[in-house]
Structure 1
């Protein structure tokens, strides 16, 4: 797993506004992409440890939206909204993520799914509108740890699905 945070060497024009998290998942890319993109799987793994997710609306196509609520372990609800800006199965997804449609603080993420032997390397590159918003996400909302936990939850769920499919 790799994550860049404050103090990481600048690698791009947006380095001071971005977070990059990656993980290798021991499953084929097509399965990882499926589990990431199908709503029937989402509530089983989405979010940091201790969070649950309730989907209000979901359609996976460019221009469509995922409207959902993340429920924190302390009982706090977080309204969330994602729109898909690019979909290239099973290689890449780009999205815009905020609290709601029109959120001026929404951020952009690009997820890539690359073969890594028999496994898949997923990379989540998120760029915030400003350095201050990025720093707030890291410091106040623990975005790096939360992203790592979310990918860990995805990996555990995909491994469970892969095992079940082999047994069937």
Structure 2
């Protein structure tokens, strides 16, 4: 967690993780990074992971099926369902495999930059969430760092 900078932060609640970043890119550019498969697969997942997309249907109820390949050689199959997207303001995704959560990316214009508020609300019990957050918090932070790295190249 970045305690010294109010622009970048992570907050953890009972069953929610909220990661905030100010990105040096317009909302449209950030929105595209979230909704164009060729960009999304470049940054999704923690440091050292790669992503292979098997299915990508950007429509309400559409599925993004992918495999995250860990640096240790372990594969993690994933299925996300696109719940809502409002260009360039919001993307809502349901993570349909364990751990189950609904992720919302809110994009706000801040003087030409984008304030990204990424929240994940977990369906799991508080007890299960305690175990999940051990890897979900650093994984989420690293994923947002990878998004920042991608956007810095644009």
Q: CA deviation at 1:93?
A: 1.1
Which residue, 41, 50, 54 being the options, matches 2:39?
A: 41
Question: d(CA) in 2 for partners of 1:40 and 1:128?
Answer: 27
Deviation at 1:143, TM superposition (A): 1.0
- Is 1:123 the counterpart of 2:117 in the alignment? yes
Within 5 Å, give how 1:52-131 maps onto structure 2: 52-99=50-97, 105-129=99-123, 130-131=125-126
Deviation digits for residues 48-85 of structure 1 (CA, Å, limit 9, x no counterpart): 10000000000111110100000001111001010011
SS of residue paired to 1:24: strand
1:135 to 130, 133, 143: 130
TM-score, scaled to structure 1? 0.82
Q: Number of paired residues?
A: 146
Task: Give 4+ residue runs of structure 1 displaced > 6 Å after superposition.
Answer: none
| More strand, by proportion | 2
* Greater C-alpha Rg: 1
* CA apart distance, 1:28: 0.5
Could you tell me which residue of structure 2 aligns to residue 149 of structure 1?
142
* CA RMSD between the two structures: 1.2
CA distance in 1: counterparts of 2:129 and 2:116, whole angstroms: 21
d(CA) in 1 for partners of 2:149 and 2:139? Answer: 15
Runs of at least 5 residues in structure 2 that lack an aligned partner in the other structure: 1-7
The SS at the match of 1:60 is coil
CA distance in 2, matches of 1:94, 1:43: 17
